[in-house]
């Protein structure tokens, strides 16, 4: 899906390094072309431009920063660089919004992996695999944490495109036009997917024994 998103950007020719000493920051398409051309400056500028949105996306979806959090940030950037290095692309693609979509994929992959690990560790009666346990805090905090884990579990069982659309809109705050652009769908299709994903989330949440 990530490569499909990139294909919606307008192709540009390989560019030379922009004048980084000037007051004008490189455009998104310049950065993308620089990555595709293997220019060292491009990776540094890309990191500065999208790091905050990658960090925000991971934190808001995962709701915590466990011991593997830095690895997830690195995984997100590796995936971004890998896709952008595949061919010289650029144009109308919003790098920050697109990077949020990539981070959303990384977060969902992490949640699916954690779900599998919890099942494995529960066989042996162990604590959570990330080494954290639910603190002996007030009951409402325990219940809130339980609900977060429950919703995260539901998201991992939904269609990936549906889960991504729901997270981009309802958690990360992107509007339907932005989501349509970064997922390669029409606005109408993105809206329909959002409606379906909300209904599925509610249906699964209301089902006892869930997700």
Q: Does any domain span residue 180?
A: yes
> Residue range 181-189: average pLDDT?
85
43-47, 75-79, 153-157, range with the lowest pLDDT: 153-157
Please tell me whether residue 83 adopts helix, strand or coil conformation: helix
Q: What is the pLDDT of residues 7-22, one digit of tens each?
A: 444 333 334 455 554 5
Whether pLDDT at 39 is above 50: yes
Number of domains in the chain: 1
Q: What is the pLDDT of residues 133-158, one digit of tens each?
A: 444 455 555 555 677 778 888 888 88
* Predicted TM-score (pTM) of this structure: 0.66
The confidence score (pLDDT) of residue 129 equals: 40
The confidence score (pLDDT) of residue 143 equals: 56
Helix, strand, coil share (%) of the chain residues, nearest 5: 65, 0, 30
Domain range for 53: 2-15+24-206
Q: Does any domain span residue 211?
A: no
Residue with more model confidence, 168 or 93: 168
Q: Categorize the per-residue pLDDT at 4 as very low, low, confident or very high, splitting at 50, 70 and 90.
A: very low
């Amino acid at each position: 899906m990530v490569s499909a998103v990139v294909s919606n950007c307008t192709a540009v020719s390989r560019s030379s390094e922009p004048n980084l000493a000037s007051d004008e920051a490189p455009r998104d398409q310049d950065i993308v072309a620089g990555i595709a051309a293997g220019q060292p400056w491009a990776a540094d500028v890309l990191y500065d431009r999208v790091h905050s949105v990658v960090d925000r996306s991971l934190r808001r979806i995962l709701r915590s920063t466990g011991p593997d959090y830095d690895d997830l940030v690195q995984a997100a950037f590796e995936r971004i660089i890998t896709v952008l290095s595949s061919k010289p692309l650029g144009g109308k693609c919003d790098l920050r919004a697109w990077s949020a979509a990539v981070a959303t994929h990384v977060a969902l992959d992490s949640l699916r992996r954690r779900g599998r690990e919890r099942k494995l560790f529960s066989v042996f009666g162990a604590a959570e695999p990330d080494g954290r346990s639910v603190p002996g805090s007030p009951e409402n905090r325990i219940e809130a944490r339980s609900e977060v884990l429950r919703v995260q579990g539901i998201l991992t069982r939904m269609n990936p495109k549906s889960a991504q659309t729901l997270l981009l809109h309802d958690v990360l705050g992107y509007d339907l036009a932005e989501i349509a652009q970064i997922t390669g769908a029409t606005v109408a299709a993105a809206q329909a997917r959002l409606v379906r994903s909300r209904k599925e989330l509610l249906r699964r949440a209301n089902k006892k024994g869930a997700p």
